[in-house]
Structure 1
Amino acid sequence: MPAFFPYWVVVLHFLNIFLMFLLFRSGLEVLSAFPKLYWHDDCPPGREWLRLSKKMYGADSRRPWTSLDEEESWSPVVALPGRKNLGLGRHWHFMTVQFWILTGAVYVGLVVATGYWHYLVPTRWGLVPDSINSIGTYLRFEIPPKIPGQPFEPAQKLAYFVVIFLLAPFQIATGAAMSPSLLARLPWYGTLFGGKQGARSLHFLGMCAFASFIVVHVFLVVVHGLPEELAAIVLGDAGADRRLALGVGLSGLLAIVVFHVVITWFSLRYRRRTQRLLGRMVDPMEKVLSRTASSHQAYRQQDISPYHRVNGYPPPGQEYAAMAVDDFRDYRLMVGGLVGRPLSLSLQDLRALGDQHQVTKHNCIQGWTAVAEWAGVPLARLVAEAGPQEAARYLVFYALDDKGLTEGEGRYGFFYETIPIHLATAPQTILALDMNGAPLPIEHGAPVRLRVETQLGFKMVKWIAAIEFVAGVEDIGMGMGGWREDQQYYARAAGI
């Protein structure tokens, strides 16, 4: 049987604290983009079970609004990095979660290998009533006795078991159930949690459970005797020098605080550097998901959401308005770049290339979802028609909307996005011309929008004007792979 606190427990305990605070703060940044929680994937406005915002929008609102209007700007004191930086918050969150899972895997491996599991895993059902008795003892302001031959009393042991072997895997499972690539490949997985919104709500509640555990855990450390407990936790020996333990413990906590101050300042001051640095650790995971997952979605007509949010205002120019009034009869989709046959296609030409219907779930990067029926041209048909050259590796989609006019907030330029050619030829990647049995509405991207069902919504360009086949994206825009990547520091791949 190992010592009560072997050094590997001390080290991994500190690493877990370090990583958990990164996850908390970056998770709050992600939540601030859509601070509303639902139990159903339709996300009807006003029907959320929790709203962490004063903003109120309704499906029948007289004033046009988009989901970006629901975003909150939370303080960098609580969110990492704060101030409406969803892209960077996601980078921090997904970078951290990889190390948190690795730390947990190492911990569990050592727990099993060293026999430490005897301290953590209940071996009899009687531990449950014993834990209830222990809690009652605490409520009488007394300290319950430890389990004979073990370092914990029953409630402690049961709590550690739940947190390590149940709550942590639960957080990983619910986090995975929010990935559009995973949900598109395995639609049944999301149903285990009531859909993506159910998983999102459960993930939030899991975070609250972790936070509550930390508060109670720290309180009990104080109750049980701070000097001895601190010496055991920090130095692995309850009888060690308590002044040294206090100094090391406070230094470790101070280091965590300083680290958070520095990375928050750095992230807000050097956003592009932060995007590039964290992207080196996050992008490979997203690319693997994007490449290996193909969409197998087949929702039913009755699953279609009664209300489907929009993200972004339509192009305000007179040219677009004139086309819309004339039902886009003069519209032409220009296709060029590294192709054997440049194309100029009307809506009628596009419809002649094929017709594919699919009922799929839209996953916005902010967090909301909705199910709709989309119909249009399989993009693979257009790719074949254009005949891409061997050097062509990406497709660039140029939109008609000038974000400097429709979005503002210091951002500018006409919207564009890129996808690798393997996504362009995926089975459920289409150029949508219809939505829910009718021509595509203006607010949802008329006359043509992209649907890539394994990706987040920002990749699905609306109001498409042209498509270009290119060898790389480094010379397009600011070179990060898309308008959101350029100006909001999103990841290039969008599978999680």
Structure 2
Amino acid sequence: MSDFFPWWVVVTHALNVMWMLLLFRSGIEVLSAFPKLHWRDDCPPGRQWLRLSRKQFGADSRRPWTSLDEEESWSPVLALPGRKNLGLGRHWHFMTIQFWILTGLVYIVAVFATGYWRYLVPVHWSIVPDSINAIGSYLQFELPATIPGEPFEPAQKLAYFVVVFLMAPLQIATGAAMSPSVLARFPRYGRIFGGKQGARSLHFLLMCAFAAFIVVHVTMVVIHGLPKELAAIVLGDPGGDRRLATGIGAAVLLAIIVLQVVVTWYSLRHRRRTQRLLGLMVDPFERAISRRFTSNQHYPHTAISPYFRVNGYPPAGAEYERMAADGFRDFRLTVGGLVAHPAAYALADLRELGSQRQITKHNCIQGWTAVAEWAGVPLADVIAQVEPDPRATRVVFYAMDDKGLTEGEGRYGYFYGTIPIHLAENPQTILALEMNGAPLPVEHGAPIRLRVETQLGFKMVKWIRAIEFVDDVSEIGMGMGGWREDQQFYANAAGI
């Protein structure tokens, strides 16, 4: 091993290739659920700066549509795992990001512990004109000289500095700025990037920048001499056995490609197993975020979005239509399970329990956002009245919509969702009865919808008919803790 290419550079370089490819492909799967990029958190339809879809929807469309209609099904060759598997794509993305960050931390510690930072960190502004000169040499089909006593020429050194010390931290920071729990607890943090949509757009552009860097980097390796460069980065010795280095390099790349094929095939063939296995690494972090952060959102009325996307079609059938036409006068919300005082509440009864208004930002798992004012009864007030048994750990919300009728795509059953009881007791967790100063619209969940402001939107059950306090969710539905978790393999914790 040479001083310029120590063993830890060789190892972290190979790991980084693997992690980056997993991140790119799983990120593309996440993007496919809402293949549009905005700079404003209102996400006005038709006002995106980039649309990676042929589908077009307008705020004044005569034909009803929901945000699920905007989702695309992209090929598994490109996306991980592809074919409309947002839940599994998120699992792969959040699992991989942990290892990518860990690898980066090991690399940074080694960089500064060994003094290698001198090869990466410019110490004088002359690096800029020197880099321009180096690029000029490449454009004239000449190889620029390396910096005396260092392994890289000026453009290389500046590029590595930007990638390692600027782009990578910014990619992590913009990722955190898309977490509903982080944004709910620290609203000002999101404003650094212009809101969640600004962070989402920057995250995408940085992904493109990483991809461009990789293309240029590989091109430079070829230009400088592939066998020699492989010997340096594989064996850590530019003068090493080039045939051996080429063989090892090819084997490593083949192994990475085979890994991509295997994890894609396995994810599509064994979706439930993949959900459970990746959940072992992803769910604890999501639960910790959800438990630690409470919402601190207080947006002004001027921040309310002029258009708020609908997610999911209302319950089908004459019974719901009759209740809606009658203003839900005869509706009763039943609350039971492990409680001391089971109850059935009319809407008027719920209003008498307590009232709370809040202007908050909705974060859909697909990626879109919108701000609205919600009013209703704090769920904590309902909990205080029914007095749950100490054994009760989760709250189940049963909805009126049969997804086999309203959503299809091979999925079935009435929608339901669950949250841990500590989230139910959070200050901004409410049973919403109003939206933007008017009775809750049918398309947004009338007569009652849940609002849990640190979670993604799929946890905020609409068209609620009953609430149950339980100590275990394994016997409800398919046992994963929610309809989306059962049918679409989402994570049960939804704080990121």
Letter in 2 for 1:304: I
Matches of 1:288 and 1:363 in 2, distance apart? Answer: 19
Measured after TM superposition, the shift of residue 291 of structure 1 is: 0.1
Letter in 1 for 2:220: L
1:326 corresponding residue in structure 2? 326
Measured after TM superposition, the shift of residue 132 of structure 1 is: 0.9
SS at match of 1:446: coil
SS at match of 1:225: helix
Matches of 1:472 and 1:314 in 2, distance apart? Answer: 29
Would you say 1:95 and 2:114 are equivalent positions? no
2:251 corresponding residue in structure 1? 251
- The root-mean-square deviation of aligned C-alpha atoms, in Å, is 0.8
Matches of 1:282 and 1:267 in 2, distance apart? Answer: 16
1:85 corresponding residue in structure 2? 85
SS at match of 1:473: coil
Matches of 2:139 and 2:399 in 1, distance apart? Answer: 63
SS at match of 1:360: strand
2:436 corresponding residue in structure 1? 436
Would you say 1:124 and 2:124 are equivalent positions? yes
Measured after TM superposition, the shift of residue 140 of structure 1 is: 1.0
SS at match of 1:215: helix
1:451 corresponding residue in structure 2? 451
Matches of 2:325 and 2:445 in 1, distance apart? Answer: 15
Matches of 1:426 and 1:2 in 2, distance apart? Answer: 57
1:475 corresponding residue in structure 2? 475
2:345 corresponding residue in structure 1? 345
Question: Is 326-335 or 134-143 further displaced after alignment?
Answer: 134-143
Partner deviation per Cα, 1:423-446 (whole Å, 9 max, x = no partner): 000000000000000000000000
Give the 5 Å matches for 1:60-459.
Answer: 60-459=60-459
- 1:399·1:466 contact (CA, 8 Å) conserved in 2? yes
Letter in 2 for 1:324: A
SS at match of 1:79: coil
- 1:87·1:488 contact (CA, 8 Å) conserved in 2? yes
Identity %: 75
Letter in 2 for 1:326: D
Measured after TM superposition, the shift of residue 290 of structure 1 is: 0.3
Letter in 1 for 2:372: A
SS at match of 2:415: strand
Matches of 1:344 and 1:330 in 2, distance apart? Answer: 11
Measured after TM superposition, the shift of residue 2 of structure 1 is: 6.9
- 2:458·2:484 contact (CA, 8 Å) conserved in 1? yes
1:16 corresponding residue in structure 2? 16
Letter in 2 for 1:191: R
Letter in 2 for 1:478: M
Matches of 1:135 and 1:419 in 2, distance apart? Answer: 55
- 1:2·1:115 contact (CA, 8 Å) conserved in 2? no
Letter in 1 for 2:289: L
SS at match of 1:335: strand
Measured after TM superposition, the shift of residue 414 of structure 1 is: 0.2
SS at match of 2:377: strand
Matches of 1:260 and 1:176 in 2, distance apart? Answer: 26
Moved over 6 A (4+): none
- 1:397·1:467 contact (CA, 8 Å) conserved in 2? yes
- 2:227·2:242 contact (CA, 8 Å) conserved in 1? yes
SS at match of 1:309: coil
- 1:68·1:312 contact (CA, 8 Å) conserved in 2? yes
SS at match of 2:297: coil
Question: Is 128-137 or 190-199 further displaced after alignment?
Answer: 128-137
TM-score by length of 1: 1.00
Letter in 2 for 1:120: L
Matches of 1:262 and 1:137 in 2, distance apart? Answer: 42
- 1:66·1:310 contact (CA, 8 Å) conserved in 2? yes
- 1:2·1:116 contact (CA, 8 Å) conserved in 2? no
SS at match of 2:311: coil
Matches of 2:99 and 2:295 in 1, distance apart? Answer: 28
SS at match of 2:95: helix
Question: Is 136-145 or 30-39 further displaced after alignment?
Answer: 136-145
Measured after TM superposition, the shift of residue 474 of structure 1 is: 1.0
SS at match of 1:252: helix
SS at match of 1:307: coil
- 1:2·1:114 contact (CA, 8 Å) conserved in 2? no
Matches of 1:139 and 1:310 in 2, distance apart? Answer: 52
Matches of 2:322 and 2:18 in 1, distance apart? Answer: 56
Letter in 2 for 1:172: I
- 1:333·1:344 contact (CA, 8 Å) conserved in 2? yes
- 1:121·1:161 contact (CA, 8 Å) conserved in 2? yes
Letter in 2 for 1:459: K
Matches of 1:441 and 1:129 in 2, distance apart? Answer: 61
Letter in 1 for 2:397: F
Matches of 1:257 and 1:2 in 2, distance apart? Answer: 29
Measured after TM superposition, the shift of residue 317 of structure 1 is: 1.2
Letter in 2 for 1:127: I
Matches of 1:101 and 1:422 in 2, distance apart? Answer: 30
Matches of 2:146 and 2:266 in 1, distance apart? Answer: 46
Measured after TM superposition, the shift of residue 227 of structure 1 is: 1.0
- 1:398·1:416 contact (CA, 8 Å) conserved in 2? yes
Partner deviation per Cα, 1:7-55 (whole Å, 9 max, x = no partner): 1110000000000000000000000000000000000000000000000
Letter in 2 for 1:111: V
2:41 corresponding residue in structure 1? 41
SS at match of 1:233: helix
Measured after TM superposition, the shift of residue 149 of structure 1 is: 0.9
Matches of 2:298 and 2:472 in 1, distance apart? Answer: 33
Letter in 1 for 2:140: R
Matches of 1:134 and 1:245 in 2, distance apart? Answer: 28
Matches of 2:237 and 2:2 in 1, distance apart? Answer: 12
Matches of 2:66 and 2:390 in 1, distance apart? Answer: 40
Partner deviation per Cα, 1:90-132 (whole Å, 9 max, x = no partner): 0000000000000000000000000110100001111111111
Partner deviation per Cα, 1:68-87 (whole Å, 9 max, x = no partner): 00000000000000000000
- 2:379·2:425 contact (CA, 8 Å) conserved in 1? yes
- 2:2·2:237 contact (CA, 8 Å) conserved in 1? no
Matches of 2:314 and 2:32 in 1, distance apart? Answer: 24
- 2:2·2:236 contact (CA, 8 Å) conserved in 1? no
Partner deviation per Cα, 1:284-328 (whole Å, 9 max, x = no partner): 000000000000000000000000001100001111000000000
